[in-house]
Chains A and B, each alone.
Chain A
Amino acid sequence: QVQLQQWGAGLLKPSETLSLTCAVSGGSFSAYNWGWIRQSPRKGLEWIGEINHSGSTITYNPSLKSRVTISVDTSKNQFSLKVDSVTAADTAVYYCASSRGALPYWGQGTLVTVSS
């Protein structure tokens, strides 16, 4: 059973960089792509992007692409999300997930609040 454990800073000021990491255990890291999704009352569930297990293919939501970076550390079975220049509109619960297009396994979620 694949398990995802995520962590990162939960309170940011405007213009700072959001940084989250997700560790994968209990399954084959190479069997999935790995993605990030966020959820807010304003926009509902929003797919941010995903990366394949080797890091050779990365796909981003076009609306966020200019500010988002997803990377992978295959030696640790971890992947990460960075969002630059955050604003209040980036306040949301952020989830990591395994991906085969559909998303079978999810992390526990991290509430990220952007406030001055």
Chain B
Amino acid sequence: EIVLTQSPGTLSLSPGERATLSCRASQSVSSSYLAWYQQKAGQAPRLLIYAASSRTTGVPDRFSGSASGSDFTLTISRLEPEDFGVYYCQHYGSSARTFGQGTTVEIK
């Protein structure tokens, strides 16, 4: 089973700042099968990015994803108030799909 480790656990930032979230896979994975989700309290997760760097329809272009080997990054270029929440990465390249433990982006 591929284990996804997200860091940091919590990111405290102010609106307008840049957020950089990391997701590291325990073994080599194809970047074609890595997704990022945003979850707010009491809501289901929302798909932001699939195939490591493709934005879902309607996701603002301040969200971007990138990959380097087994390391994946979600960047929010300038935080808006609605961007605060918990972010998860997910690998879906094998029959056993896994999620990271999440990074909380909170208002500083």
A-to-B contact residues, CB < 8 Å: 44-47, 59, 61-62, 95, 97, 100-104, 106-109
Counted as pairs of residues, one from A and one from B, with CB atoms less than 8 Å apart, the total is 51
Instruction: Give the chain A neighbours of B93 by CB distance below 8 A.
Output: 101
B-to-A contact residues, CB < 8 Å: 1, 33, 35, 37, 44-47, 50-51, 56, 88, 90, 92-93, 95-102
Pairwise interchain contact B33-A108, C-beta atoms closer than 8 A: no
Pairwise interchain contact B45-A45, C-beta atoms closer than 8 A: yes
4 more A-B residue pairs beyond the given contacts A45-B88, A59-B95, A102-B90, with a C-beta to C-beta distance below 8 A:
A44-B100, A47-B98, A95-B44, A103-B45
Complex CA–CA separation, A107 to B45 (angstroms): 10
Complex CA–CA separation, A97 to B39 (angstroms): 14
Majority secondary structure of chain A interface residues (helix, strand, loop or mixed): strand
Closest CB in chain A relative to B99 CB, distance in Å: 4
B56 interface neighbour in A95, A104, A106, Cβ under 8 Å = A104
Complex CA–CA separation, A10 to B101 (angstroms): 25
Closest CB in chain A relative to B58 CB, distance in Å: 10
A47-B99 contact in complex given A101-B92, A103-B35, A104-B56, C-beta closer than 8 Å: yes
Pairwise interchain contact A106-B44, C-beta atoms closer than 8 A: yes
Complex CA–CA separation, A61 to B94 (angstroms): 11
Complex CA–CA separation, A59 to B95 (angstroms): 7
Instruction: Give the chain B neighbours of A44 by CB distance below 8 A.
Output: 88, 99-102
> Which chain B residue lies CB-closest to A50?
B97
Pairwise interchain contact B96-A102, C-beta atoms closer than 8 A: no
Complex CA–CA separation, A102 to B37 (angstroms): 9
Q: Which of B44, B51, B99 has the most C-beta atoms of chain A within 10 angstroms of its own C-beta?
A: B44
Instruction: Give the chain A neighbours of B46 by CB distance below 8 A.
Output: 106
> Which chain A residue lies CB-closest to B101?
A44
